[in-house]
Chain A
């Protein structure tokens, strides 16, 4: 299967690979997928409480090129967004941006799930109720 140029670019030069201190109150962590399924994505955000803005985002992913590219792209998009804006990111936007083929749509779903899980982790840590997340389209 041929990958799009954008997937290859994110895979070869992944943005924001790394780890934030998961114990910090301002950091939210989302870990989705499972090793048996061949995809595990960990996405972390750091939020500026005063402005509710995401100041930093990092990822680590075990998975195929599309999974790596989806998470890399997600971190790029997250930086500078408010938490509410981040919540609005839809997996189909990732599919479009990376030109993912149908068999790779699940990679974008994982990325969306990881974003939402990270936001919820941040919310719960800071005394806010977890958001009820609608199941994204698999």
Chain B
């Protein structure tokens, strides 16, 4: 029996894998010690759990366990990386390069840096969501200390040319940071081979618990340091104070181990289902995939159904938990800035749905979703004055709208 509603919003968060919960349980009960307590077995047991998790995490992204700095999540990792580099390397320069399609955790942190007197370049993206390497090269200055560009986009799944970006940053003597939130655990991410110096990522996007993440900080070639943004007991090699979230970290470690072992199989299954979903929905007239189809995370698709408004559509697909580029619940009424950065008109951005699949998504769920979306789009188009005008051959751009 199909259970409704069906969760297809896995870019927002993923369910906890039962095997992760199982690994965490002892640390939520018997093994409750503070990992920083060096003088008794309670502390040692907790520290052992943390150390093991550090290894599991390091193995997934091919780094040394000592290079993992635990945080409360990717937002904190992004903040610590950007602010920490800006402070630590202020003698070297004050310029940071990023893109317009970053997560708010990066964009708003960069805005904060600007208030502190830093300079930030926001690179545009093309219609597939990709930056231009030439533009990156041209934006580099002797003052550039950091290039921070996300690995895979949360709304479209578009994957940036990470290795090429890293090479350009390094050529000009800057560090390269990547927000790996959506990519780590989904596609192979190898910080050594990719040339990443700092990377924020989080457990809850890969079937781990919420409230725990990490910042990878390179220790060799070059040795990178960030100024702590949280002062206190000097945990995490002085870069992030605060008692470690031991059960969370243990779960994070287990999630990374499972991701490493099951990634290939998951990717194959998920991309097949995602493609099936996409290929079944695109025959609906005036439907478009947003972002790059070629360079994309395996579990995501973002589709605009023209002449149907996204929030109305989400209500129509009430048996599905998805998200929309339409933000008409917010006070601003502005649609997704990521989709707009791709050059989408506001009305197309308003008409988008994002589907994010997970390890637990089934073919039966996808088949149900396909029919459900088709029905809702068809019904709403029959109700849409824009669809009627389109069908009558009216060019909507020639109409003078009574702006509201």
**Which A residues are within 8 Å of any B CB, using their own CB?**
1, 3, 8, 11, 14, 17, 19, 31-42, 60-65, 67-68, 103, 106, 109-110, 113, 117, 138
Contact = CB atoms under 8 A, between A and B. Distances in A.
Contacts of B307: 62
B385 A38 contact: no
A38 B165 CA distance: 36
19 contacts: A19-B388, A33-B402, A34-B401, A34-B402, A35-B350, A36-B347, A38-B311, A41-B385, A62-B312, A62-B386, A64-B312, A67-B309, A68-B383, A103-B329, A106-B333, A106-B404, A113-B402, A113-B404, A117-B402
Chain A CB within 10 Å — which of B315, B326, B403 has the most? Answer: B315
Interface residues on B, range: 20 to 34
B394 to A, nearest CB: 11
Given A39-B404, A60-B383, A64-B309, 16 more contacts: A17-B382, A31-B402, A34-B401, A34-B403, A38-B310, A38-B326, A40-B386, A41-B385, A42-B385, A61-B383, A63-B312, A64-B326, A65-B312, A67-B309, A67-B312, A106-B404
Nearest to B397: A35
Nearest to A14: B383
Interface centre among A35, A61, A109, by most B CB within 10 Å? A35
A34 B404 contact: yes
A62 B335 contact: no
Contacts of A109: 404
Interface of B: 307-312, 315-316, 326, 328-331, 333, 335, 345-347, 350, 382-388, 396, 401-404
Nearest to A30: B402
Contact of A65 (B315, B346, B396, B402): B315
Contacts of B311: 38, 63-65
A36 B345 contact: yes
Contacts of B345: 35-36
Contact of A61 (B326, B384, B401): B384
Contacts of B312: 11, 62-65, 67-68
Contacts of B403: 34, 37
A21 B122 CA distance: 50
A103 B326 CA distance: 14
Contacts of A138: 404
Contacts of A68: 312, 383
Contacts of B328: 38-39, 63-64
Contacts of B402: 31-34, 113, 117
Contacts of B329: 1, 64, 103
A138 B95 CA distance: 42
Q: Output the residue of B308, B311, B335, B396 with the most chain A CB within 10 A.
A: B311
Contacts of B387: 62
A40 B390 CA distance: 14
B33 to A, nearest CB: 42
Given A38-B326, A64-B311, A64-B312, A31 B383 contact: no
A102 to B, nearest CB: 9
Contacts of A64: 309, 311-312, 315, 326, 328-329
Nearest to B346: A36
Contacts of B388: 19, 60
B383 A35 contact: no
A37 B401 CA distance: 10
A62 B351 CA distance: 10
A138 B403 CA distance: 13
Contacts of B308: 62
Given A42-B385, A60-B388, A62-B308, A37 B315 contact: no
Contacts of B346: 35-38
B322 to A, nearest CB: 15
Contacts of A63: 309, 311-312, 328
A62 B326 CA distance: 12
A35 B333 contact: no
Nearest to B396: A35
Contact of A17 (B383, B386, B404): B383
A90 to B, nearest CB: 17
Nearest to A1: B329
A116 to B, nearest CB: 11
A32 B384 contact: no
Contacts of A103: 329-331
Contact of B309 (A3, A14, A32, A62): A62
A125 B145 CA distance: 67
Contacts of B350: 35-36, 38
B385 A31 contact: yes
A48 to B, nearest CB: 25
Nearest to B330: A103
A42 B386 CA distance: 9
B347 A35 contact: yes
Contacts of B335: 38
A38 B307 CA distance: 10
